[in-house]
Amino acid sequence: MRALITDDVHPLLIEELKGMGYEVDFRPDITAEETANNIAPYSGLIINSKIFCGEELLSKALNLKWVGRLGSGMEVIDTKACEAHGVKYFNSPEGNRNAVAEHALGLLLNILNNITPSNNEIHQGQWIREPNRGTELSGKTVGIIAFGNTGEAFSKVLGGFDINILAYDKYKKGFGNDRVKEATMVEIFAQADILSLHLPLTPETQHLADQKFFESFAKPIYFINTSRGKVVETTALLHAVKSGHVKAAALDVLENEKIQNLSAAEQAWFDALIADTRILLTPHIAGWTHESKRKIAEVVISRVRAFGF
């Protein structure tokens, strides 16, 4: 048995696969083209966001039995094509859900309290207090859209604050508890002071957060996205910040994260994002902790064992 790992992983993953009898090729710098050209002998494949496991790759994967995704996003795996080729597939969202939740909380506290703008001002020799007066999280209503691994984890890290949490999930019911109220989007639009997205990227969710979406909120909101960049229509978000429908935003993900290779239209919205001090940006690192790296490895191994390969 041979397994190809196409991205950086915790050494535990390699060690455990070898212990299960796999010959492991660890090639974190391999390209998508090289992967397709060399996939034939492998029975296992581990990918992250740079490799798309679709028909083109699978047609060359003559011995492939399973493909594992580091992290949560299943948009990089064509599940129907995998099923047609008899290839098992899985992701590992349990591995970095706490990391994403803690990062989302950090982003939220940052934009509520103007931490990054005031830090930058001090580094420029300015000591400005009143314009940087913060807003307390206590007493606010937080809306969470999608209550899967990261949405639920975010609700847990919010547990120490005196807040109301409203959560909506189109495909999950009966998850409400003493900390979280299961809500409709109508309720979230009417009551939320803060909104956090925890959605997968699908044809249904792409550009869910458009201009109509932001204008549906009864109050100006603080907005956080640690899910997928294309869930948000960036130009609509910029318009919402400018119009006051969004007080401040924190984004860990962008519609196009290859910022050295943007189209003219993408460059325009990117320039607008980085010019606005009300918008906080991080480079898709919400799930990127030292601890999550090991946890993801543990989850992947448990999945491989569960499949019996």
Q: Tens place of pLDDT for every residue, the chain, 309 residues?
A: 999 999 999 999 999 999 999 999 999 999 999 999 999 999 999 999 899 999 999 999 999 999 999 999 899 999 999 999 999 999 999 999 999 999 999 999 999 999 999 999 999 999 999 999 999 999 999 999 999 999 999 999 999 999 999 999 999 999 999 999 999 999 999 999 999 999 999 999 999 999 999 999 999 999 999 999 999 999 999 999 999 999 999 999 999 999 999 999 999 999 999 999 999 999 999 999 999 999 999 999 999 999 877
Per-domain residue ranges for the chain?
A: 2-93+290-307, 97-281
Angle at CA 234, nearest 5°, toward 173 and 111?
A: 75
Check for a shared fold between 2-93+290-307 and 97-281: yes
Say how many C-beta atoms besides its own lie within 10 A of residue 138's C-beta: 8
DSSP state of 142: E
CATH topology of domain 2-93+290-307: Rossmann fold (3.40.50)
Question: Is 3.40.50.720 the CATH classification of the domain at 97-281?
Answer: yes
Q: Indicate left, alpha or beta for 284 from its phi (over 0: left) and psi (-120 to 50: alpha).
A: left
Q: In what order do the strands lie in the sheet with 66-69?
A: 23-26, 2-5, 44-47, 66-69, 88-90
Query: What is 91-137 written as a DSSP string?
Result: --GGGTHHHHHHHHHHHHHHHHTTHHHHHHHHHTT----GGG----S
